[in-house]
Amino acid sequence: SQQGEEDPQALSIQEGENATMNCSYKTSINNLQWYRQNSGRGLVHLILIRSNEREKHSGRLRVTLDTSKKSSSLLITASRAADTASYFCATDAVDNNDMRFGAGTRLTVKP
């Protein structure tokens, strides 16, 4: 069963704008990860944030984690057409040995 739920399901923006995607989950976690999937390809890991961290940066990516609200956000700044992809959050629950993926947010960046 899925643990993370992404929101929105789909997002369309213009190149140069920022894109924000949210993820909510239900149980206590060890860490939360964001992955990207281009059409027809496997998922690629973007960033991992541990339960004792609140914010993490990697290039144009910024991830926040609020364990009290059981939610995370992924911000992509200065978006590019090449950022067009589906973005998934995955949670490593405390009472599980594996990760569970959400349904994903489909991001379209128009040139």
CB of 29 to another protein, least distance (A): 8
Cα–Cα distance measured from residue 108 to residue 111, given in angstroms and rounded to the nearest whole number: 10
85 binds another protein (CB under 8 A): no
**SS3 label, residue 83:** helix
Q: Which residue number, 3 or 79, has a Cβ lying nearer to another protein?
A: 3
CB of 48 to another protein, least distance (A): 6
DSSP for 29-66, written as a single string: EEEEEEEEE-TTS-EEEEEEEETT-SEEEETTEEEEEE
Positions 11 through 50 that interact with another protein (CB under 8 A)? 30-31, 33, 41-45, 48
CB of 91 to another protein, least distance (A): 8
Site string for another protein, 45-74 (x = CB under 8 A): x--x--------------------------
The encoded tokens of residue 52 equal 């004792």
Phi, psi of 52 (to 5 degrees): -95, 5
